Amino acid sequence: MTAREIYDLALRGGGNDFQTVTELLERLGEPWCLIGGLAVNVYCEPIYTADADFVVIANQLDLVCAELAGLGFTISQHRFLVDAQLPGSGLVVQLTTDGQGVQRYPTKSASLIFSHDHNALD
């Protein structure tokens, strides 16, 4: 069994959801970056996490939410983040919106990207 199959089994299709979100963000062409547990997995022994944390540029948040809703994601807005989840999926996509400096992450991270592989879980 591949890592992707295990992830999909544990999160009821979460790998596909993750790929859908990253492809959407790439298509929109605005800076974004992955943070949290999935990002840390690039640098250490992988850990299990049931969410995918992203930072998007704040002025694009409404567009990203509308696009995700159009793809069938349920959107739930909170003070400093937006949750997006496909019905029946175990993966919660979290879009961080807090004002404590994370808005500069996407532009800073562009210079740090060494591999951009949507199929990293395969």
26 in a structural domain:
yes
- The pLDDT value recorded for residue 49 is 73
Domain span including residue 42: 3-109
Q: Is residue 117 part of a domain?
A: no
- Residue 116 lies inside a defined structural domain of this protein: no
The whole-number pLDDT of residue 72 equals 96
Number of domains in the chain: 1
The residue among 79, 82, 80, 88 whose CA lies nearest residue 17 is: 88
Q: Tell me how far apart the alpha carbons of residues 51 and 11 are, in angstroms, rounded to a whole number.
A: 9
Is residue 122 in a domain? Answer: no
Per-residue pLDDT tens, the chain, 122 aa: give them. 676 676 666 666 677 888 888 899 889 887 788 888 777 766 777 667 777 888 887 778 889 999 999 999 999 998 888 999 999 888 899 888 765 555 555 554 443 433 334 444 44
Residue 50 lies in a domain: yes
pLDDT on residue 98: 61
Which residue, 67, 68, 107, is CA-closest to 84? Answer: 68
Rounded to two decimals, the pTM is: 0.70
Q: What CATH number is associated with residue 43?
A: 3.30.460.40
User: What are the DSSP E strand ranges found in the chain?
Assistant: 32-35, 51-56, 74-77, 81-85, 92-96
